[in-house]
Copies of this chain bind each other. A is one copy, B any other.
């Protein structure tokens, strides 16, 4: 085999760069529509792979992402590395102690929502294996076991993300769902490891003894990692923190362990991601792991490595060619039915209200990234064919997409608005003409009423009444006139900047250089408080005011607010 050539290097940089770029852009776009980023990332692969680019310009597609040769190997290796590291992050996010804290209910949901889909999936696969696309060379029992696992698994990252978006993550319902999902994931992956070992890539290895040995080693590794390994890591982390460069020592420590764990599980005959996941779970469970390390690792891996991997999935399969409508519908129905039933029964058993139980069911139903990884491994191991793989991917995406809206419909949680949601470029006045408090309010009300067709006199009157009652200058150059407006559907914040400053009767006597006019719906008291306190917190840092005065456009301003807001929180 020859050495890696300059052409290989060029192509490697180009294909990774293009794929990552497109994946991140589409990931951002779907997030605008409150969908998980993974949907956009998969789409990037579909666009650049055989499905779309391959049918428009097959040569370009093959040039960028060759199917054979050195670059195919490199690409394969890098996307394997990416998924191994992503599973480590997924493992870190698993908080084993949560399972015990919200123990009973979570465990009940966890057990039922894995047992019902498992039995149902297994029986369906035994009953109609050919309709579900079993290939003849695959043992029916192995196939059924795989399908059962595929129906039982959840997607912790997607579930956590959906719950966080709705501010339900720290609620009791959230914790029940999260602990149930953790339980599902761990059991699901162990079962899948067994399925993989049953397949035994290499014919010489597939003797009965070998399978038992693999299962034994798998369970031994999982058990050791979650007990002794977890304890050892917890004891070692303070040494790493105390005696190595911070935070790099801790990051390397986690990565090295994950890679070695991955090598070990790959060696015993199950996939590398399994070892990385277990090591991640053991590390994430340590109370000594610092938040900064967690954030750095997950920023880098979840947003660089993960998009690369998910986009690479779309490259592997032609989604049009292998799209089988009946199979997709069948898989979707089975998956949703058994997981919803499992989730609801589990939650009811745990004593939750019916409405909450349905929310739990829909939350558990999202399969997201985990299902796709499972499907890909099964495809590579020859357990399933491309048609079923496509159906599983589509099922994973659809269950993830409907989860959020369904929970929102069921629980109608009052989503508190954030400042970012209420800022619009049309409501940004770079230089206020007014010199007095009343004029400034008038000028700002004027802009918002023109843009959103509201009654100017009424709004102005309400804001001014509030302002007269007590001045809203909070000092440090900031004023926050605000009012609740009947009939408004979402909060609106007008931003006005005045270089010279306008007297808002602040406690510190300083004129206001930046004025936020905060208009919120009549009912949304919490949103108003949220937004007002967010602004007050943000401008405690004098540098932000200075930065604001230097901004030229709304984009500059938004960039400042967003990047400063988060860097202050973490």
Min CB gap A214→B, angstroms: 12
Chain B residues, CB < 8 A from A302: 248
Interface pairs A-B: 7 shortest CB-CB? A17-B259, A241-B559, A248-B303, A242-B558, A13-B263, A14-B263, A10-B266
Are B14 and A248 neighbours in the complex by a CB distance under 8 Å? no
Are B73 and A1 neighbours in the complex by a CB distance under 8 Å? yes
Measured CA separation A53–B461 after assembly (Å): 82
Are A28 and B243 neighbours in the complex by a CB distance under 8 Å? yes
Measured CA separation A449–B260 after assembly (Å): 46
Given A243-B28, A248-B299, A304-B251, decide whether A238 and B13 contact each other with a Cβ distance below 8 A. Answer: no
Chain B residues, CB < 8 A from A31: 245
Are A78 and B78 neighbours in the complex by a CB distance under 8 Å? yes
Q: Which residues of chain A in 1-17 are interfacial with respect to chain B, using CB atoms and an 8 Å cutoff? A: 1, 3-4, 6, 8-14, 16-17
Given A14-B260, A21-B256, decide whether A3 and B76 contact each other with a Cβ distance below 8 A. Answer: yes
Given A77-B77, A247-B566, A563-B247, decide whether A555 and B242 contact each other with a Cβ distance below 8 A. Answer: yes
Chain B residues, CB < 8 A from A172: none
**What 0/1 pattern do residues 254 to 284 of A give for CB contact below 8 A with B?**
0110011011001101001000000000000
Name A238's contact: one of B10, B249, B555 (CB within 8 Å): B555
Interface: A24 (CB within 8 A): yes
Given A21-B256, A252-B304, decide whether A81 and B12 contact each other with a Cβ distance below 8 A. Answer: yes
Q: How many residues of A contact B (CB 8 A)?
A: 82
Interface: A424 (CB within 8 A): no
Name A244's contact: one of B16, B28, B68, B244 (CB within 8 Å): B28
Name A17's contact: one of B72, B260, B560 (CB within 8 Å): B260
Given A13-B84, A74-B73, A76-B3, decide whether A245 and B28 contact each other with a Cβ distance below 8 A. Answer: yes
Q: Which of A68, A241, A556 counts the most chain B CB atoms within 10 A?
A: A241
- 12 inter-chain pairs at a CB distance below 8 angstroms, sorted by A residue, are A9-B80, A13-B272, A21-B252, A28-B245, A74-B77, A241-B560, A241-B562, A242-B556, A242-B562, A243-B555, A246-B565, A292-B563
**What 0/1 pattern do residues 530 to 570 of A give for CB contact below 8 A with B?**
00000000000000000000000101101110110111001
Measured CA separation A266–B9 after assembly (Å): 7
